[in-house]
Amino acid sequence: MNSLQEKQAIYEVLCNYCRGLDRMDKALAYSVWHDAGTALYHDIFEGSGREFVDWVWDAHALMERHSHQITNHIIQVNGELACSETYVTVVLWSLPDEDGGQREIIGRGRYLDQWSKRDGKWAIDHREHVLDMQTIHDLHRGYVNAVSARDTTDPSFKVLSL
């Protein structure tokens, strides 16, 4: 593969991470880390990548909805090793409280990832997450599409079935 193909392969792993969390596809979320991969989410979590997925799974289960978007990304590849910085926005909606009120939490930060390619597969060896800023406010709901789901009933599973 050339450098652009390697970068695209890494970018797709980053997208799979977001998809794995938002569609609650745990196997997909696990797959972005090598078995010994580690995660440091400053002031939030430190441990293995797999432990992070388990931890965030419980946290996301306490939310009504969540959405992860990645934007600016810089990927540097050197043979079977790579590093990247990827900007991320995470939006979380809390479950309604006893009065029906909800909160929206918006985090903006960066994934600083160290990668290696093993057996033809790119995965994270170490992730450092820097939460640059966060806002929390009362949620005033707008439109929510009823077909959007955090499981295999989401229409994306039919589209991405190749």
Number of folded domains in the chain?
A: 1
Name residue 156's amino acid: S
Closest CA to 133 of 154, 153, 113, 107: 107
pLDDT below 50 — which residues of the chain?
Answer: none
What pTM value is reported for the model? 0.92
**CA distance readout (Å), 156 to 1, 25, 61, 90, 147:** 28, 12, 20, 20, 10
- The pLDDT value given to residue 162: 64
- The pLDDT value given to residue 157: 87
Q: Return the bridge partners of 123, or none.
A: 116
SS3 11: helix
CATH number, residue 143: 3.10.450.50
Residue 67 structure tokens:
């959405």
H/E segment holding residue 29: helix 26-31
Q: Which residue has tokens 């029906």?
A: 100
SS3 145: coil
Summarize pLDDT for 47-81 with one digit per residue, the tens: 999 999 999 999 999 999 999 999 999 999 999 99
Q: By residue range, what is the domain housing residue 76?
A: 3-159
**Residue 158 CB contacts under 8 Å (≥ 6 apart), including other chains:** none
- The pLDDT value given to residue 114: 98
d(CA 45, CA 51): 9
Rg from Cα positions in the chain: 16
Residue 29 structure tokens:
């979320």
